[in-house]
């Protein structure tokens, strides 16, 4: 749970920075695009093992939780980068020009002019991606991170009633998904006051 | 600075897009407090000339000096230039997620670092100037085209620019809304603002221009006071004027 939460926030920040990098042209853009393609074309489980064993071989001994957060963040950031880039690309160039003509710096332009409208345009895609991330966090049981699937596994090996244990688990995930969507809906209302005021749907 | 000091000066400016020569040796001087109006057929390079003044396009050859900034200078401080120059486009380009007041205060607060209270005060003043004092809390999409364009003018004015550039700011508006925007521009000209205006509104051009510039094929073909429209010296301007007259009476 916190696993998915932390990874969502960190992944969004990292992914958005990466989206800006993708649009910047030059070496930075190439680097970002290699990262995004590498992540989007390999399975999450493999990425988790890579981070897990990679850090271990560097002599870093981190808790399974930290490793899981890292791996999930690296994963979701790549998808977020693609989504946010599409959002940023959909902003009319006249908006950027208007900002530049007012003397805004690059950073101010992204922060005040581009970020929110871009997010608004791809908000449903972003929300889905983060729900997917939450569901995918179940595979972190593979590196014995204490999360719901691991617990269910534990329960079924104690009670020898795997079907019931996993049915309960599935129910829990559904509840969590619905909750998460509700949270994103509320967050959307807070982030996009214009939508709230004009009553347009997201 | 005396009144005769040029605020905008273009000397033999050349600009091409690929093989297409768009500006072919344009020279133009706009003194402080002066209103220069650029007219000409579609494609004659009016917008490009204006965009070069705010360094939205980089020129190939020649020289441009705006408010003391030499635009061809390698050490040009672009953001300082942009603070001295206000520009308004045909598409208003208001930021849709911000209210009118937020649109107006954004740059003064984040670029000029004035306090929020002071920026709000300025916003109210410029909104009064364009007749939108009761629209501060509206979002752009709640406004008519004419109101949006006036809000965009207000947003530029809030930066207290030394020169304002207008690129066909009424072309997307119907006659009634056009009139309200033109009135704002006339007030602004009367208040002593230095302006460079590209427009297709001929009677407005004649009224407001201290200097009228007729561009043709990337060159300044004819220039003089507004009244040159009544008595064109070149066949190109004569033809352009008769065309505009036909368009107006149609
Ligand atoms: N960024 C660009 N890339 C390529 N060609 C361009 C670009 N901007 C303008 N042009 C071309 O340059 C020529 C002059 O354009 P410009 O916009 O300056 O004309 P204009 O006088 O403003 O015309 P209008 O009255 O239609 O606005 C046109 O042929 C146009 O297609
Ligand atoms: Mg034009």
Per residue in B41-77, pLDDT (tens digit) is: 999 999 999 999 999 999 999 999 999 999 999 899 9
Per residue in A64-114, pLDDT (tens digit) is: 888 889 999 999 999 999 999 999 999 999 999 999 999 999 999 999 999
Tell me the nearest-neighbour CA distance from A109 into chain B, angstroms: 10
pLDDT tier, B1 (very low <50, low <70, confident <90, very high otherwise): very low
Reply yes or no on whether the pLDDT at B152 is more than 50: yes
Give the pLDDT of residue B248: 67
Which of ligand 1's atoms lies nearest the C-alpha of B200?
25
Homologous superfamily in CATH for domain B8-93+163-249: P-loop containing nucleotide triphosphate hydrolases (3.40.50.300)
Q: Are A166 and A152 in contact (CB under 8 A)?
A: yes
Q: Are B170 and B95 in contact (CB under 8 A)?
A: no
Q: Mean of the pLDDT values across residues A27-47? A: 94
- Whether the CB of B167 is below 8 Å from some CB of chain A: the reply is no
Give the pLDDT of residue A200: 61
Ligand number nearest CA of B17 is 1
CB of B43 within 6 A of ligand 1: the answer is yes
Q: Pick one of 1.10.760.10, 1.10.3720.10, 3.40.50.1460, 3.30.70.260 as the CATH number of A2-198.
A: 1.10.3720.10
Reply yes or no on whether the pLDDT at A148 is more than 70: yes
Share of chain A above pLDDT 70, in %: 96
Sequence ranges of the domains in chain B? 8-93+163-249
Give the pLDDT of residue A142: 75
Average pLDDT, chain A: 90
Reply yes or no on whether the pLDDT at A144 is more than 80: no
Interatomic CA distance for residues B193 and A166, integer angstroms: 74
Q: Mean of the pLDDT values across residues B70-97? A: 95
Q: Mean of the pLDDT values across residues B97-120? A: 96
Q: Mean of the pLDDT values across residues B133-149? A: 95
pLDDT tier, B249 (very low <50, low <70, confident <90, very high otherwise): low
Reply yes or no on whether the pLDDT at A130 is more than 90: yes
Ligand number nearest CA of B21 is 1
Reply yes or no on whether the pLDDT at B231 is more than 60: yes
Contact A98 B107 (CB under 8 A): no
For residue B97, give the nearest of A101, A103, A192 by CB distance: A192
The closest of A109, A84, A91 to A13, measured between CA atoms, is A84
3-state secondary structure of A195: helix
CA of B91: how far to CAs of A132, B22, B95, B135, B145, in Å? 39, 22, 12, 19, 9
Average pLDDT, chain B: 94
Q: Are B163 and B195 in contact (CB under 8 A)?
A: yes
The closest of B71, B43, B44, B47 to B58, measured between CA atoms, is B71
Reply yes or no on whether the pLDDT at A181 is more than 60: yes
For residue A46, give both structure tokens. Answer: 């493999």
Q: Mean of the pLDDT values across residues B105-116? A: 96
CB of B178 within 6 A of ligand 1: the answer is no
Edge-first strand listing for the sheet containing B219-224 = B85-88, B163-167, B194-198, B35-40, B211-216, B219-224
- Report which protein residue has its CA nearest ligand 1's atom 2: B17
Give the pLDDT of residue A154: 84
CA of A93: how far to CAs of A106, A114, B29, in Å? 14, 10, 30
- Report which protein residue has its CA nearest ligand 1's atom 17: B47
Beta strands B219-224 and B211-216 are antiparallel
Q: Are A42 and A62 in contact (CB under 8 A)?
A: no
B94 to chain A: which residues are within 8 Å by CB? 98
Interface of B with A in 114-143 (CB under 8 A): 139, 141-142
Give the pLDDT of residue B94: 97
B66, B84, B97, best to mutate vs chain A, most A CBs in 10 Å: B97
Give the pLDDT of residue A201: 54
Reply yes or no on whether the pLDDT at B37 is more than 50: yes
Tell me the nearest-neighbour CA distance from A149 into chain B, angstroms: 41
Q: Measure B18 CA to ligand 1 centroid, in angstroms.
A: 12
Ligand number nearest CA of B20 is 1
Q: Mean of the pLDDT values across residues A31-48? A: 94
Which of ligand 1's atoms lies nearest the C-alpha of B40?
21
Q: Mean of the pLDDT values across residues B5-25? A: 94
pLDDT tier, A161 (very low <50, low <70, confident <90, very high otherwise): confident
Comparing A75-84, B101-110, B221-230, which segment has the lowest mean pLDDT?
Answer: B221-230
Q: Which residue has the higher pLDDT, B107 or A3?
A: B107
Reply yes or no on whether the pLDDT at B250 is more than 60: no
Here the ipTM equals 0.89
Per residue in B195-217, pLDDT (tens digit) is: 999 999 999 999 999 999 999 99
Interface of B with A in 191-250 (CB under 8 A): none
Edge-first strand listing for the sheet containing B6-17 = B20-31, B6-17, B61-66, B69-70
Per residue in B120-132, pLDDT (tens digit) is: 999 999 999 999 9
pLDDT tier, A195 (very low <50, low <70, confident <90, very high otherwise): confident
Contact A108 B110 (CB under 8 A): yes
Which of ligand 1's atoms lies nearest the C-alpha of B46?
21
CB of B48 within 6 A of ligand 1: the answer is yes
Q: Are B24 and B197 in contact (CB under 8 A)?
A: no
């Amino acid at each position: 749970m916190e696993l998915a939460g932390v990874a969502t926030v960190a992944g969004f920040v990292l992914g958005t920075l990466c989206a800006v990098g993708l649009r910047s042209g030059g070496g930075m853009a190439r680097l970002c695009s290699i990262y995004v393609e590498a992540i989007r074309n390999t399975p999450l489980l493999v990425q988790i093992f890579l981070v897990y064993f990679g850090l271990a071989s560097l002599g870093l001994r981190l808790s399974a939780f930290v490793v899981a957060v890292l791996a999930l963040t690296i994963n979701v950031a790549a998808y977020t980068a693609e989504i946010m880039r599409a959002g940023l690309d959909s902003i009319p160039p006249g908006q950027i020009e208007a900002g530049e003509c007012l003397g805004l710096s690059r950073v101010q332009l992204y922060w005040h002019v581009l970020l929110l409208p871009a997010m608004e345009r791809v908000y449903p895609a972003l929300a889905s991606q983060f729900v997917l991330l939450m569901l995918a966090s179940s595979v972190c049981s593979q590196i014995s991170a204490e999360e719901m699937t691991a617990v269910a596994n534990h329960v079924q090996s104690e009670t020898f009633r795997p079907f019931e244990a996993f049915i309960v688990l599935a129910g829990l995930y559904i509840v969590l998904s619905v909750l998460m969507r509700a949270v994103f809906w509320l967050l959307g209302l807070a982030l996009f006051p214009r939508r709230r005021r004009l009553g347009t749907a997201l | 600075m005396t009144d005769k000091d040029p605020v905008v000066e273009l000397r033999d400016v050349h600009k091409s897009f690929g093989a297409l020569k768009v500006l072919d040796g344009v020279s133009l001087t706009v003194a402080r407090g002066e209103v220069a109006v650029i007219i000409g057929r579609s494609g004659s390079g009016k917008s490009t000339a204006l965009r070069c003044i705010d360094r939205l396009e980089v020129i190939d050859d020649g020289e441009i000096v705006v408010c003391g900034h030499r635009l061809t200078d390698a050490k040009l401080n672009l953001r300082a230039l942009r603070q001295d120059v206000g520009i308004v486009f045909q598409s208003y380009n208001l930021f849709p997620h911000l209210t009118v007041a937020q649109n107006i205060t954004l740059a003064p607060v984040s670029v000029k670092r004035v306090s929020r209270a002071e920026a709000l005060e300025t916003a109210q003043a410029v909104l009064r100037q364009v007749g939108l004092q009761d629209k501060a809390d509206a979002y752009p999409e709640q406004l008519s085209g004419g109101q949006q364009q006036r809000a965009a003018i207000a947003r530029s004015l809030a930066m207290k620019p030394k020169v304002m550039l207008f690129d066909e700011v009424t072309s997307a508006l119907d006659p009634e809304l056009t009139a309200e925007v033109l009135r704002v521009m006339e007030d602004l000209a009367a208040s002593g603002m230095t302006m460079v205006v590209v427009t297709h509104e001929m009677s407005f051009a004649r009224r407001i221009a201290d200097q009228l510039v007729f561009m043709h094929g990337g060159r300044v073909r004819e220039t003089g006071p507004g009244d040159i429209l009544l008595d064109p010296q070149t066949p190109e301007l004569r033809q352009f004027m008769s065309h505009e007259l036909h368009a107006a009476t149609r």
